[in-house]
Amino acid sequence: MTPSTSYLDSLNDVQRQAVVTTDGPVLVVAGPGSGKTRVLTFRIAHLIEQGAAPWEVLALTFTNKAAREMKERIEKVVGPRASKVWAGTFHSLFARILRVEANHIGYPTNFTIYDTDDSKSLIGQLIKELHLNKDLYNVNTVRQRISSAKSNLVTPKLYALNEELMTQDRMAKMPATQKIYAAYTARCKKAGAMDFDDLLYRLYELLQSNEEVLKKYREKFRYVLVDEFQDTNHLQYAIVRKLVQYENSPRNICVVGDDAQSIYAFRGATIQNILDFEHDFQKFHIQVFKLEQNYRSTEQIVQAANEVITYNRRQIQKRIWSDKGSGQKIGLIKATTDAEEGKRVADTIMEQKNRDHLHNREIAILYRTNAQSRVFEEYMRRYNIPYRVYGGLSFYQRKEVKDLIGYLRVVVNPQDEEALRRVINFPKRGIGDTTVDKILQFSNDQGISVWEAVRQIPVTSGTRSKINAFVAIIEPARRQLDTANAFEIAAQVAKQSGLEDFYKKDNSIEGLGRVENFESLLSGIQAFVTEESVIDAGTLPDKSLASYLQNIALLTDFDQNDAEQADHVTLMSVHAAKGLEFKSVFVTGLEEKLFPSFMSMDTPEGLDEERRLFYVAITRAERHLTLSFANARYRYGKMSYNEPSRFLNEIPTQHLDHAATLSNNTINTGPVNTGPPAARVSGFFRTTANATVPGIDPKDFKPSPNDQIKPGMVVLHLKFGKGKVIHIDGGIAHIHFNAVDNPDKKIMLKFAKLQILE
C-alpha cells in the first residue's frame, strides 16, 4: 500500500527533511515562527502513515495546550487513530505510566499528586518537627533546593555526599537542608504522594531499578519526540535517554527546540541538553535540521530579532528570515509615566483597530512582570476595549477550590497528609493545631498512616467526638467510591463538610466570588462525569472521583479555554506569550531594572536569558510591533526612575519608526529633579531635553484634591506647568498648558497631581 503523503507538499525542503528522516536521532533547531509544531505533527503523522502503530509514538511536551494542539493536528492528517498516540506533557504521561507501575517502587497506584503548595506546607511542617529555626530555613528556598536536587538526579543520599551542596547549605546557614530533603521524601512516600518533580524522578527511579519495566517501555516506545527541548532539565533528558539509548536501539528520537527561546533556566531548564544531545548521539549519525524561514513576521521584525540575539554570548548559529516583505517599522512609545504608557498603548490600539481593522484578539500587550498589567487594564476599561488578563492565581489555586479538593483528596487517599491537615479543622470544628500535631506525631511514632492515627489516637472524649465528626464526613464518602461518580460524592461532601454553607454565609463581594468559584468547581465536576472527552483521556476511563482528581492535578488555568473564542485584547507576561502569535504586539516597560529585571541583570547568564525573553517577545508579532517605556513608574509604592532598556539600543535604528518617535517625542522628559541622575551615556534613547517647566520646585508643589478641580481653573502640573482646565468629562480633565509643544492634554484626575492656582 502506498500511503498518501500529500501532506508533505505543504512543507519547505528543510521541514520535509525533518519529517521524513525517521531513522536515527534527529535534532531540529527551530527558530520562532518556523513551523515547528507543523514539523512535529507531520512527522508523527508520517510515522503512522509509514506503518508505525500510534501507541508506539511518545511525544512529550511541556504544556497541556501544546499537547492538545499537537493531537488535534495529528488527527487532521491520520484521523481518529491519532488519539492512540502517546502525546502529552512529561508529567501527565509519566503519571499515566506510574499509575500502572507505581507498586514496583513502593507506591500505591492511586497515589496523590502534591502541588507546589502542598510541598511547601509539608516542608514547613518538617522544619517545625525538626526544631529548625524558620528564620534561617525559608520554605521556598528549601523547596527550590529539593526540587533542583531531584531535577539533577541527586537523591537525599547523594545530597549528603555532595560536598558542594552541603557546603552551600552550611554557608547559607541551613546545614540541615539535606535532613529536610530526606524527611520530605519519606513523608511523601508515607502519604502515598508524589510532587511534580517526583512524577519525573520516580519514573526515572522505576526505569533505573526495574529491568523488566524498562525493557517493556523501551520496546513500546519505538519513536520518541520531544518538543521545546531547550526547556528540559537534566532529569527529563535522563529519562528520554534511558528510553532510547541502549544496545541495538533504533534510536528513533527527534528533539525540537530553539536555544534562543530558552527562558526557563530559572527553573532548571538547560540548553546544555541540546549540546549534550548532539554529543550523546553523534556516533549514531545524528542529523541536524535548522528551520530558519519564519512564516510569522515581516522582515523588519525578523531582522530586529536577529540583531538583538547577536548580543548573546553562546548560541547555535542561525539566522531567521522572512519573505513576507519589509512591513512596517517597529513603533516606539516613549512615555513619561507608567500611566501615560498605558494611555498611549490604548491610543495606539484604537488607531490600529480603526486604520488596520485589527480585531481585539489579534492584539497583545506583553510585560515583564504581572504587576504591570494594572495600568493597561485601567485604560482598556476606559476605552471600552474588551481584554483578558492571563496569569495570576489559577482557578485551582484558589482557597475555596483547594478546600473542597482537599476533602476529596482525603476521601480518595486518606493517607494524604497535606490534604488532611488542610481540611481536618476547616470549617472549624474544634480540632486545634495541638491535636493535629499530636495526630501527626502519633502517626510517625507508631508507623501508621495519618488516617489510622486519626482514628486510633487516644484523646479526651470531647476531642474524640470532634474527630469523629470529621471521620463521619469522610467515611461514608469513602464507602461510595466504587459505586458513586465524582459529582455525587463531591456534592455530598460539599454539604456535609459544611464548606458550602461556610462560603454561602459570606455576603461580601469577595465572598460572592468565592461562592461562584466553589459552584463552578462543582459544575466542573459535573461536566466531568457527563461529558465524553477529558483532557488527558486514558489515565482512567471512568467517572470516578479518583479519576477526576487525577485529571485536574495536572491542569492549569491556561487549559480552561472557555473564552478563547471571545474577541478580546490579550494582556500577559512575556513568559506566558511563548508559543503564541498576534498581528499586533506591544512590548511594554522596556526599562533597565524592569526588562531586564533587576533580579537577573548582574550576571551575564541572567542578562542573556532576559535578552532571549526580549527575543521571544518581539518575535510574537506578525505585522505590528510597538515597544514602549516610561521614564518614571510607580513601583512598590514609590515613583522610580529608570533608563530605557539596553535592549532598545540593540535594535538597529533602521528598523524603528522614527516618524512615530519624533511626533510622540514632545513629552519625552527626564525625571523631575528627583531620582537618580541620568548617568548612562551612549544610545540614542538617552533623554536630553528636560521639558520640566522651569521655575517649579517640586518641594513647593502641593497637589489639590482632585474633586476640587473644576473647569475654568488654572492649575499647576509638575511636568506640563501652568494650564487652564477647559472642561472635565468622566474623570478626564481637558487642560490647555502654555509651556509645552503639545499644549492640549487630557489628564485623568484619578492619576493626575494638580495644584489649583486660581
Partner DNA sequence: AGGGCGCGATTTTTT
Partner DNA sequence: ATCGCGCCCT
Least CB distance to DNA at residue 146 (A): 13
Is 556 among the residues that bind DNA (CB under 7 A)? yes
Q: How far apart are the first and last CA of the chain?
A: 90
Query: Taking contact as CB under 7 A, which single stretch among the options 62-70, 278-286, 539-547, 722-730 is the one that binds DNA?
Result: 62-70
Which one-letter DSSP state was computed for residue 416?
A: -
Among 368, 421, 646, 745, binds DNA (CB under 7 A): 368
Out of 433, 445, 700, 707, name the contact with DNA by CB under 7 A: 433
DSSP state of 705: P
149 φ/ψ angles, rounded to the nearest 5 degrees: -60, -50
User: Distance between CA 501 and CA 509 in Å, rounded?
Assistant: 16
User: In b/e form, how buried is each residue of 655-677, taking b as 16+ CB within 10 angstroms?
Assistant: bbbeebbeebbebbbbbbeeeee
Residue 246 touches DNA, criterion: CB under 7 A: no
Q: What are phi and psi of 569, to 5 degrees?
A: -75, 140
| Residue 369 binds to DNA (criterion: CB under 7 A) | yes
Which residue in 391, 513, 538, 743 binds DNA (CB under 7 A)?
391
- Of 5-13, 326-334, 573-581, 714-722, the segment contacting DNA by CB under 7 A is 573-581
Q: Which residues contact 629 (CB under 8 A, 6 or more apart)?
A: 333, 334, 335, 341, 588, 589, 590, 591, 644, 645, 648
Site string for DNA, 93-132 (x = CB under 7 A): ----------------------xx-------x--------
Pairwise CA distance, residues 258 & 256, whole Å = 7
How many residues bind DNA (CB under 7 A)? The answer is 45
> Minimal distance in Å, beta carbon 505 to DNA?
13
C-beta separation of 169 from 178 below 8 A: yes
Asked if residue 135 binds DNA (CB under 7 A), the reply is yes
Residue selected from 7, 114, 137, 196 as contacting DNA according to rule CB under 7 A: 196
List for the chain the helix, strand, coil content (%; round to 5).
50, 15, 35
Nearer to DNA, 434 or 533 (CB): 434
Find the shortest distance in angstroms from Cβ 726 to DNA: 30
Report the SS3 class of residue 131: coil
CB-side exposure of 745: number of CA atoms within 13 Å? 28
Phi, psi dihedrals of residue 590, rounded to the nearest 5°? -80, 80
**Pick from 525, 517, 396: which is nearest to 113 by CA?**
396
Nearer to DNA, 224 or 613 (CB): 613
Identify the residue among 130, 266, 285, 673 touching DNA (CB under 7 A).
266
Q: Stretches 52-60, 213-221, 422-430, 673-681: which one binds DNA (CB under 7 A)?
A: 422-430
Spatial CB neighbours of 328, under 8 Å, sequence gap ≥ 6? 298, 300, 623, 624, 625, 657
Stretch that binds DNA, among 59-67, 97-105, 175-183, 311-319 (CB under 7 A): 59-67
Tell me: does residue 597 bind DNA (CB under 7 A).
Answer: yes
Q: Are strands 621-635 and 331-337 parallel, antiparallel or unpaired?
A: parallel
**CB environment 320-347: b (16+ within 10 A), e (fewer):** bebebeebbbbbbbbbbbbbbbbbbbbe
Stretch that binds DNA, among 250-258, 380-388, 446-454, 594-602 (CB under 7 A): 594-602
Return the residue matching grid coordinates 510585560: 367
Asked whether position 463 contacts DNA by CB under 7 A, the answer is no
Least distance to DNA, CB of residue 69, Å = 11
CB of 667 to DNA, least distance (A): 24
- Cβ proximity to DNA: between 369 and 526 the closer is 369
421 is an interface residue for DNA by CB under 7 A: no
User: CB of 637: closest distance to DNA in angstroms?
Assistant: 3
Compute the half-sphere exposure of residue 710: CA atoms within 13 Å on the CB side of its CA. 2
Nearer to DNA, 135 or 163 (CB): 135
Residues catalogued as catalytic: 36-37, 227-228, 261, 620
Q: Which of 527, 522, 468, 517 is nearest to 495 (CA)?
A: 522
* Residue 318 in the binding site for DNA (CB under 7 A): no
Binding status of residue 64 toward DNA by CB under 7 A: yes
705 binds DNA (CB under 7 A): no
Contacting residues for 653 by C-beta, under 8 A, at least 6 apart: 684
Q: How many CB atoms lie within 10 A of CB 280?
A: 17
User: Is residue 360 a contact point for DNA (CB under 7 A)?
Assistant: no
Q: Which is nearer to DNA, 440 or 667 (CB)?
A: 440
User: Which residue stretch of 168-176, 432-440, 448-456, 480-488 sits at the interface with DNA (rule: CB under 7 A)?
Assistant: 432-440
Residue ranges in contact with DNA by CB under 7 A: 62-65, 89-92, 115-116, 124, 134-135, 196, 263-264, 266-267, 368-371, 391, 394, 425, 428, 430-434, 554-556, 558-559, 572-573, 575-576, 597, 599-600, 636-637
